[in-house]
């Protein structure tokens, strides 16, 4: 199961500012549904594993892209199991 956090606890975990997370979203560096999920106007949760991976692979964007594709495949499999 994936762990999700609000901006402030995640920022502390990653060692970045909350404003940095917001800027990354604005710059389209983070993908909604992968790096974060917006539940309502004022509730946004971040996927901890994908955010840690983003930080760890910033010098190798292709590696992070492969991780995103793996995550999406796993998410699709999980969704299909729940439907079936």
C-alpha to C-alpha distance for 73 and 14, rounded to whole angstroms: 25
**Domain span holding position 78:** 4-83
* Tens digits of residue pLDDT in 14-65: 999 999 999 999 999 999 999 999 999 999 999 999 999 999 999 999 999 9
Number of domains within the chain: 1
What is the reported pTM?
0.89
Neighbour tally for 26: CB within 10 Å: 9
Q: Are the C-beta atoms of residues 45 and 37 closer than 8 Å to each other?
A: yes
Radius of gyration in angstroms for the set of CA atoms belonging to the chain, rounded to a whole number: 13
Q: Are the C-beta atoms of residues 82 and 45 closer than 8 Å to each other?
A: no
Q: Are the C-beta atoms of residues 35 and 46 closer than 8 Å to each other?
A: yes
């Amino acid at each position: 199961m994936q762990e999700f956090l609000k901006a402030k606890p995640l920022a502390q975990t990653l060692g970045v500012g909350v404003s940095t997370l917001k800027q990354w979203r604005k710059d389209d560096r983070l993908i909604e549904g992968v790096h974060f999920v917006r539940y309502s106007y004022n509730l946004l949760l971040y996927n901890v594993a994908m955010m840690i991976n983003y930080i760890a692979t910033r010098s190798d964007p292709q590696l992070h892209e492969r991780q995103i594709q793996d995550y999406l495949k796993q998410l699709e499999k999980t969704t299909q199991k729940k439907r079936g």
